[in-house]
Structure 1
Amino acid sequence: MTKIQNPILPGFHADPSICRVGDDFYIATSTFEWFPGVRIHHSKDLVHWQHVASPLDRLSQLDMKGNMNSGGIWAPCLSYHDNQFYLIYTDVKQWHGAYKDSHNYLVTAPTINGPWSEPVYLNSSGFDPSLFHDEDGRKWFMNMIWDYRKGNHPFAGIVLQEYSHAEQRLIGPVKKIYDGTDIQLTEGPHIYKKDDYYYLFVAEGGTQYEHAETVARSKHIEGPYETDPHYPLITADQKPHLPIQKTGHGSLVDTPGGEWYFVHLGGRPLKGKYCTLGRETFIQEIRWTADGWPRLTDGSQSPALEVDAPSLPLHPFDPEPTIDHFDDDRLFPKWWNSLRIPIDQTWLSLTERPGHLRLKGMESLSSLHSQALLARRQTAFHCSFETSVDYEPEYFQHMGGMTVFYDTEDHVYLHLTHHEIKGRSLQIIRTVKGEYDEVLPSPQKVTATGPVKLKGVITFDRLQWFYQDQDMDDFKPIGPVFDVTHMSDDSADDVRFTGTFIGLVTQDLSGARKPCDFDYFRYEQHD
């Protein structure tokens, strides 16, 4: 029998929402502060997956300039009804401290590739919104509700309200339908109708190592909901031997043949703790008990790295290319993301120097506003990445090169810059928990003009940079071997939610937007 190998979406792909339309399966995942917002993958067999859409691709749908780290798009919900896709999402502006400034919206499209509509504002009472289309034609909106008041548990339960498609707004009373269990931190609601019951799936325990998924059910959508007496459905809490940790926050789907599967987030830690790839998407097979409760097919509550595939014809996709030559007038869309702002001609061009990506220097790597940073996810523990950069910095405020980047607080940056004595030089900046450091005691002088090749190799928890100047036959190491575990959710003093990216970037801290040109970008997985 064919097996599904987990994770099905490696690298930073958190909070999966799965939807079936006929013979096609789609998963939407969170993107947080990375633009465009929401990633959607497609499959025909639940084994092979391919990125097909990023719906929130313009400022009128998503304006994240100034959003704090790990803000932005939290936990989208994708559904399909009456020949239309519905995508619910949260744009989180601020989430540290007592308050959560989280605004919930809806966009729709006739096909998964769009065109996706302008957003309909729904509410701001909490995050993790979801939409359920009932058999009688009514639509129901859910979210967790946030209680900022002193002495109250901030995760105050799941609330339900009707959504009027005709009026494009929420209508009727808001009703709390579920408080959660003793695991607490109840969030991520999704409702499904099966036989005579409404099943409410919720995430609990927080999105770190105590994470879990719980199921409750009711004969009526407004409750009362009875919790599965054998909750949770899945968790890796107190199971440090498992290769998949942090399991929870997921959604349910059936196949045309009546098989059932549950997709969920999880993490694969290095050194027993650090999930440098971020929270990824995994899948488990589900069976239903005689008394109507969902269970993992092996009878446990633990995630498996391998599960039986459904009885569907296999439908593999062509492998992704390993290199973007920047020879076309558009970027290879499955790879690239920008930070908080749209990819547009104000800071990026593929035509001003044909065959090259031109980035125009903007703000620093610590900026929450306007960075000339183009990046892709790290999707394997052992990988290499390479570029050729042509850049003539005139001042120390000019920088351009390649970065391994978690967020503005944690990154490592190999770049060309100008040194008053050595001229054009290479330097490495490392930022850990916001603390800036120049790694090379003395910058590495390179030829005054022309391209310089840069390369990085990540082997699990280690990063080594390399460079190749024009008079060199091969790459030469530069700088020490770096421990990259600080680029993970788990290294921060507070919780955070994304994953490691590898990017091309330039800064002009003088404000003149000096351009930096890249001839190609190569990314290869070695495991």
Structure 2
Amino acid sequence: MIRNPILPGFNPDPSICRVGEDYYIATSTFEWYPGVQIHHSRDLVNWTLVRRPLERRSQLDMRGNPDSCGVWAPCLSYADGLFWLVYTDVKRFDGSFKDAHNYIVTASSVEGEWSDPVYVNSSGFDPSLFHDEDGRKWFVNMQWNHRPENHTGAAHNAFDGILLQEWDAGTKRLVGPVKNIFPGTRQGLVEAPHLFRRNGWYYLTTAEGGTGYDHTVTMARSRTIDGPYEAHPDLYLITAKDHPEAPLQRAGHGQYVETPDGEVYHTHLCGRPLAPLRRCTLGRETALQKCVWRDDGWLYLEHGSPVPEVEVPAPAGAVANEKPASVFYDFSEGTLPADFQWLRTPEPERIFSLSAQPGYLTLFGRESIGSWFEQALVARRQEHHDFRAETVIEAEPEVYQQVAGLTYYYNRYKFHALGLTRHEVLGRTLTILSCPGDYPNGNLTFPAGSGVAVGEGPLELAAEVHGNDLQFFWRPAGTDAWQAIGPVLDAGVVSDEGGRGEHNSFTGAFIGLFAFDITGRGRGGDFANFRYTALS
């Protein structure tokens, strides 16, 4: 069986592509660098992260991008001996504008080097590239409307339908007329278009209802690529919006794929809420549903309901590989482990090094933990509702403006951090910095007060999360007894629904290491290792 989510933790907007026996899924990374995660599978059951292709300044520079901006909704495809990746770099979130710029990069292999981007347009986000049977290529994206009116019939003014225009691969530009081919259904908020062709029909899948609990995968079809498109008789191919009891919620935004044997599946994003507040601390994850074509020429989920299931039939012969419950990183290889990312900057050498202190991950303290420009924060995704993270830190802060340690992080308004710093009276101390979603001020709270004096020498730090609860711990390195520090904190704040709530942010929780030095002297910390352990 395929057990959902197939990509746990923050892995939204899954675009799937099959090349021979190989399947690839590209997911959004938003403000996390490098951009776009690409996972690979041979059986649709076992998935391995193989590439983050947007890895240099000429491809992606997100310094200054607000929270939940950056890389939205990549589309991965294969044609003409190349992999094609289409993506948006969103520069604004709040207010009437988005400033969403769309690009294309290519590569001869997913694991190889990807080209510099070719700019396409900025009319809206969630772009997709369709390679038609006659060799022509078509670019689609949603159209963003900053006005309080529309004239397309869309159910929501801002999401003003799906635009289609031909892409000329030779001249690397859009050509011909722009046409709005689909205003969406009554659900509204139409986005995430993907086209495919079957039996003389063009099928268009989109997402509607926003990124929250009303999310859907909608399908429409037409005999001609530019429409008119008729909606699916059930409107929604995949949704849990009317089934709050379903374990996979917020289901929407995905893409169709066929196996070599003709079996059909559809990806979608989903969330797994925690009671009692239905907050999804793991963010938006990737799931996969088995589908069937019926005699009416429409696609349906195989089990007969649009509500996604946790377990669905896998292709014949697939066997799930058991993942280790605990992963240990000792930072001795000289390269950052693949599970880790950082925020926004294409110049990672300014925020961390694996050679400055051999065997350690050295973070150089830069701007504050709430910066949108240059902050030293290196972290990995939370993949389980219950987990423990541990690290060993060596740092000698000189003043309270220098802090380094362990953080449970969502964005600049939603995080908890256990930091080693210097206090005027207590000396070297551990304290807790929390920002429990109090937008728009973003003011810190200090649940452990001035902190705990810890003396000199390396320290071991730990964070343990059980559902909605977070507890920090510490001990002098090499000793046996862990000591709790501060109260039990609200881990549920570190979620899409925390702070301002649903639709106001939509990434996921990370656990990792940070340092800031707002004196400007660049003092940070050395981290000997990091361990992530699933507790459920």
Task: Write the deviation string for residues 53-74 of structure 1: whole angstroms up to 9, x where unpaired.
Answer: 0000011101100000000000
Distance 1:15 1:140 in 2: 20
Report the CA distance between 1:98 and its aligned residue. Answer: 1.0
Cα 1:109–1:471, aligned 2, differ >3 Å: closer, same or farther? closer
Counterpart residue type for residue 383 of structure 1: F
Matched, 1:136 2:140: no
The residue aligned with 1:502 is 511
Q: What residue identity is the alignment partner of 1:503? A: G
Task: Specify whether residues 470 and 314 from structure 1 end up closer, same or farther in structure 2 by C-alpha distance, changes over 3 A only.
Answer: closer
| 2:435–2:445 CA contact under 8 A, matched in 1 | yes
Q: Which structure 2 residue ranges, 5 or more long, are not aligned?
A: 151-156
Partner of 1:74: 72
Where 1:229 maps in the other structure, the secondary structure is: strand
TM-score, normalization by structure 1: 0.97
2:448 partner letter? L
Whole-Å separation in 2 of the counterparts to 1:296 and 1:354: 52
Select 2:27's aligned residue among 16, 19, 29: 29
**CA distance change for structure 1 residues 317 and 109 in 2, over 3 Å: closer, same or farther?**
farther
Aligned partner of 2:452 in structure 1 is 444
One-letter amino acid matched to 1:439: P
Task: Return the alpha-carbon distance in structure 2 between the equivalents of residues 94 and 343 of structure 1.
Answer: 22
Find the residue that maps to 2:497 and give its secondary structure: helix
Which residue number corresponds to residue 59 of structure 2?
61
Moved more, 391-400 or 346-355: 346-355
Give the corresponding residue for 2:522: 513
Paired residues in the alignment total: 523
| 1:473 Cα offset (Å) | 2.4
Partner Cα separation in structure 2 for residue 321 and residue 241 of structure 1 = 31
Structure 1 residue corresponding to 2:115, chosen from 114, 117, 131: 117
- Bigger mean CA deviation after superposition, 196-205 or 463-472: 463-472
The answer for the alignment partner of 2:281 in structure 1 is: 276
* Aligned residue number for residue 443 of structure 2: 435
Query: Is the CA contact 1:14–1:29 (under 8 Å) kept in the aligned structure 2?
Result: yes
Q: What amino acid does structure 2 have at the position aligned with 1:276?
A: T
| Matched residue SS, 1:424 | strand
Per the alignment, do residues 321 and 480 of structure 1 end up closer, same or farther by CA in structure 2, a change over 3 Å counting?
A: closer
Tell me, what secondary structure is at the counterpart of 1:489? coil
Given candidates 454, 466, 484, the residue that maps to 2:491 is: 484
Identical amino acids, percent of aligned pairs? 49
Q: Structure 1 316/84 Cα, relative in aligned 2: closer, same or farther at 3 Å? A: farther
Determine the structure 2 residue equivalent to 1:463. Answer: 470
- Give 1:427 deviation, angstroms: 0.4
Q: Is the 8 A contact 1:45 1:315 kept in 2?
A: no
Deviation at 1:469, TM superposition (A): 1.6
Distance in 1 (alpha carbons) for counterparts of 2:307 and 2:349: 48
- Output the amino acid matched with 1:486: V
- Residue of structure 2 in register with 1:392 after alignment: 396
Contact 1:257/1:311 (8 A) holds in 2: no
CA 1:470–1:303 in structure 2 vs 1: closer, same or farther (change >3 Å)? closer
Q: Is the 8 A contact 1:65 1:370 kept in 2?
A: yes
Q: Whole-Å Cα distance in 2 between the matches of residues 248 and 12 of structure 1?
A: 15
Question: In 2, distance between residues paired with 1:317 and 1:329?
Answer: 28
The corresponding residue for 1:329 is: 334
Give the corresponding residue for 2:154.
none
2:500 is equivalent to residue 493 of structure 1: yes
State the distance in 2 between where 1:328 and 1:4 align.
33
The code of the aligned residue for 1:89 comes to Y
The answer for the alignment partner of 2:425 in structure 1 is 421
Letter in 1 for 2:78: Y
- Distance, in Å, in 1 between the alignment partners of 2:493 and 2:322 is 34
Any gaps of 5 or more consecutive residues in structure 1? none
Q: CA deviation at 1:470?
A: 4.5
Counterparts of 1:240-259 in structure 2, within 5 Å, are: 240-259=244-263
Deviation of the 1:345 alpha carbon = 2.1
Amino acid paired to 1:522? R
Q: Residue 303 of structure 2 aligns with which residue?
A: 298
What's the offset of the Cα at 1:313?
A: 4.5
**TM-score normalised by length of structure 2:** 0.96
Cα deviation for residue 95 of structure 1 reads 2.1
Within 1, Cα distance between the matches of 2:168 and 2:322? 39
1:20 to 18, 21, 25: 18
